[in-house]
Amino acid sequence: MKLRTHLLVALLIIGMIVVPALPRAHAASGTYFDSIVVVAMENQHYADVMGTGTGSSNAPFIASMLTLGATIPLYHGYGAAGRRISGCSAGCYTAQISGSDQGISDSYNCCINAPTLMDSMASAGITWRAYCESGCPRGNDHFPFTGFTSTHLSPNIFTGSAVSTSDFVNAANAQTPAYFLWYTPTDCNNMHDSSASCGTTNPVAHGDAYLKTFFVGTGTIASPASGSLFASTTFKPTQRTLLILWWDEYDPAPVLFYEPGVVKQAYVSSSDLYDEYSILHLIENNWSLPTLTANDAAAASMTEIFGASTPPPPGGSGGGCLLCGSTSTWLFAIGGLLGLIGSLVLLTIRARANLARTRRRMNSLGR
């Protein structure tokens, strides 16, 4: 009996300590998405890439994404609602991650000493990685992570001469991908250039074909080829990953939001209030991060692009499964169950022992 009691006491103790002893919840469970992928494009007017919001003949692949995503035809690449972004390209990129154009223009040197979204995410345990294709020929102008004091030496940035979409897909296909992934293509692939050196006179069509190969390979959005971005771990159906296809400037500038089952399909916003700061504020709000400046604090957060008034639960559960998605939910359930079982059995043993003692007393008195 004593051995059994000791075992049950041990079970009760295990049930009490199992929750704090095991890993915590997914750090990046957010309101509308748990992961985000940003692909940074360049220098095109909205209509040339997306028409009126339903697609352009110049970009048939992007047109197919528009039927599954949301877009904003009046997106202001130079600032909206009285906010101003100057010095683009570079100022648009710094605004996107720091809430200010930081008073810089193209070809600026490192380093800007200001807080960034990456700092906020790191403080919250949200991992990030940023990639710049083929040696990052435009440097800080199109890749702001190398331009800030807190990030320019980070092991999370990749700018080597061999960096390609394959490296990015590998990062997205990791067992535990970073929660924030950024990719900057070269000017030949991001719709910036149409020079002979790039082999194209139609940068929109060239960039659209590049994105198709990058996102789905020889497959389709519904059935992406192995080795493509949409076939990666980050974009598995159980994941809540928001893709932002973003152009850095012009007014209006193209922008596209894609997240199956969460972003409204074929949604064309009529809002005239959105800019770089709005995207930054959307990311901050999703993960309850602090705003960085008055610009992102004042910017509308773009929640209209999401389909449900009550967002789906974090962790990819998709609805009413109580224990789906969150590691910590399972740990609490298991620990609580072990503790409850141990408590009930221990109480039962004690009650039986007390009853046995009472019977022995009564038998003694009756003799």
Q: What is the rounded distance in angstroms from the CA atom of residue 180 to the CA atom of residue 158?
A: 14
**Average of per-residue pLDDT across 297-303:** 94
Answer positive or negative: Cα dihedral of 90, 159, 127, 314. positive
Is the CB of residue 262 less than 8 Å from the CB of residue 243?
no
pLDDT(224) > 70:
yes
pLDDT score at 105: 85
Q: CA–CA distance from 125 to each of 118, 193, 257 (Å)?
A: 10, 38, 24
pLDDT score at 351: 60
pLDDT score at 321: 33
170-196 per-position pLDDT tens digit? 999 999 999 999 999 999 999 999 888
Is the CB of residue 66 less than 8 Å from the CB of residue 52?
no
Q: What is the mean pLDDT of the chain?
A: 84
Q: Which residue has the higher pLDDT, 54 or 365?
A: 54
Q: What is the rounded distance in angstroms from the CA atom of residue 80 to the CA atom of residue 102?
A: 17
* 241-244 CB contacts, 8 Å cutoff, 24+ apart: 241/33, 241/34, 241/35, 241/36, 241/37, 242/32, 242/33, 242/35, 242/36, 242/37, 243/36, 243/37, 243/38, 243/39, 243/69, 244/36, 244/37, 244/38, 244/39, 244/279
Q: What is the rounded distance in angstroms from the CA atom of residue 268 to the CA atom of residue 227?
A: 31
pLDDT(27) > 80:
no
Give the amino acid at 197.
S
Per-residue confidence at 278, pLDDT binned at 50, 70, 90?
Answer: very high
Q: What is the rounded distance in angstroms from the CA atom of residue 141 to the CA atom of residue 184?
A: 11
Per-residue confidence at 107, pLDDT binned at 50, 70, 90?
Answer: confident
> Reduced to 3 states, what is the DSSP secondary structure of residue 280?
helix
> Reduced to 3 states, what is the DSSP secondary structure of residue 184?
strand
141-166 per-position pLDDT tens digit? 999 999 999 999 999 999 999 999 99
Q: What is the rounded distance in angstroms from the CA atom of residue 173 to the CA atom of residue 243?
A: 15
Q: In terms of Cα–Cα distance, which of 185, 98, 80 is closest to 142? A: 185
Is the CB of residue 252 less than 8 Å from the CB of residue 271?
no
Residue whose pair of structure tokens reads 């610009």 in the numeric block: 295
* Percent with pLDDT over 90 in the chain: 70
Q: Which of 13-27, 64-78, 98-112, 309-323 is the most confident on average?
A: 64-78
- Dihedral (C-alpha) 287, 293, 298, 302: value to the nearest 10 degrees? -40
Q: Is 224 left (phi over 0), alpha (psi -120 to 50) or beta?
A: beta
- Dmax over CA atoms of the chain, in Å, equals 113
pLDDT score at 28: 61
**Sheet strands side by side (includes 267-268):** 157-158, 128-132, 180-184, 35-41, 241-247, 255-258, 70-71, 267-268
> Reduced to 3 states, what is the DSSP secondary structure of residue 366?
helix
pLDDT score at 197: 84
Tokens coding 80 = 């909206």
